Amino acid sequence: MQNLKALIFDIDGTFSDTERDGHRIAFNKTFKEAGLNWHWDIDTYGKLLEVTGGKERIRHFINKSQPAFDSPDNLNEFILKLHKTKTRHFIALLKSGAIPLRPGVERLLKEARSEGLRMAIATTTTLENVTTLLTATLGKDSINWFEVIAAGDVVPGKKPAPDIYLYALKHMGLNADDCIAFEDSENGLLSSTGAGIKTIVTINDYTRQQGFGGAALVLDQLGEPEVAFSVLGGDAGSATYVDVTLIRKLFTN
Ligand code: XBP
Ligand code: MG
């Protein structure tokens, strides 16, 4: 019988609700600082999330909503500069403690470690955002909890492409059927299942309307012993929060 060897986690929307209160705020601060009259309100940003990657999202916005925009210098340079500023603002928000972990994340990570499960991260966001989030929420040492932190531009194709998960598997020396992944979005689920990895989805306000066919389990959150999750898809049996026992059950199903 195949044994579960590792858990692979998405970051944005899964570890923390970083999009609405983090990245979006950082983008808007950046646009203001650059003297641009762009503002991404909550709904606009929700639509822009169909494109993964901050740089790609700016380009998509310019192409789709700012056709007349004449970038000061070459567009790539311009977007790179904006994105660097945006990352600086996002990092400051993380360090201020404004972005906590979602319910159950810290507990599950610690339980998985105590059960000897290997862990990795597969995210579209910039590496510095990941290490700062981990340090701000779990302490600097938590960066070492993850054998591989696959992030951002280390791969050519961003989610929904499977590249970032394939990268994590390759660097862990594991196969897809040794692992379970955790995601929050349709693009993320397509990426993890595209790499052949069984996936548990925890939705959030931006992703609750998305399609999660192919997920092993769809929940509103990981839950806590005292805070039960809601099952939106799949079978969690009598479990009321995600723990290693439930994950192992889903793995063997
Ligand atoms: C979600 C993304 C990221 C962030 C912005 O990442 O699409 O691009 O929205 O981060 P995840 P950057 O795979 O963790 O859900 O600006 O650093 O790209
Ligand atoms: Mg995500």
pLDDT tens per residue, range 111-122: 999 999 999 999
Closest by CA position to 118, among listed 211, 25, 8: 8
Tens digits of per-residue pLDDT, 80-119?
Answer: 999 999 999 999 999 999 999 999 999 999 999 999 999 9
Tokens of residue 113, six digits: 């470690």
Is the pLDDT at 3 greater than 90, yes or no? no
Is the pLDDT at 20 greater than 90, yes or no? yes
Tens digits of per-residue pLDDT, 49-76?
Answer: 999 999 999 999 999 998 788 877 789 9
Tens digits of per-residue pLDDT, 155-179?
Answer: 999 999 999 999 999 999 999 999 9
Determine the atom of ligand 1 nearest the C-alpha atom of 185. Answer: 15
User: 222 with 33: CB under 8 angstroms?
Assistant: no
159 CB within 6 A, ligand 1: yes
124 CB within 6 A, ligand 1: yes
Catalytic residue list contains 12: yes
For residues 133-150, give the mean pLDDT.
98
- Computed over every residue of the chain, the mean pLDDT equals 96
129 CB within 6 A, ligand 1: yes
Give the pLDDT band of residue 193 (cuts 50, 70, 90). Answer: very high
The pLDDT value given to residue 1: 61
100 vs 137, 173, 191, CA distance in Å?
6, 31, 25
User: 229 with 222: CB under 8 angstroms?
Assistant: yes
Query: What is the model's pTM?
Result: 0.97
H-helix segments, the chain: 18, 24-33, 42-48, 54-65, 75-95, 105-114, 127-138, 163-172, 186-194, 244-252
Determine phi and psi for 149, rounding to 5 degrees.
-115, 95
SS3 state at 218: strand
28 CB within 6 A, ligand 1: no
**Cα of 20 to ligand 2 centre, how many Å?**
12
Q: How far apart are CA 239 and CA 249, in angstroms?
A: 11
- Which ligand gives the minimal distance to the CA of 199? 2
The percentage of residues in the chain with a pLDDT greater than 90, rounded to a whole number, is: 94
Q: Which residue lies with its CA nearest to atom 7 of ligand 1?
A: 52
Is the pLDDT at 2 greater than 80, yes or no? no
Between 78 and 1, residue with greater pLDDT: 78
Closest by CA position to 190, among listed 171, 217, 211: 211
Is the pLDDT at 253 greater than 70, yes or no? yes
Catalytic residue list contains 153: no
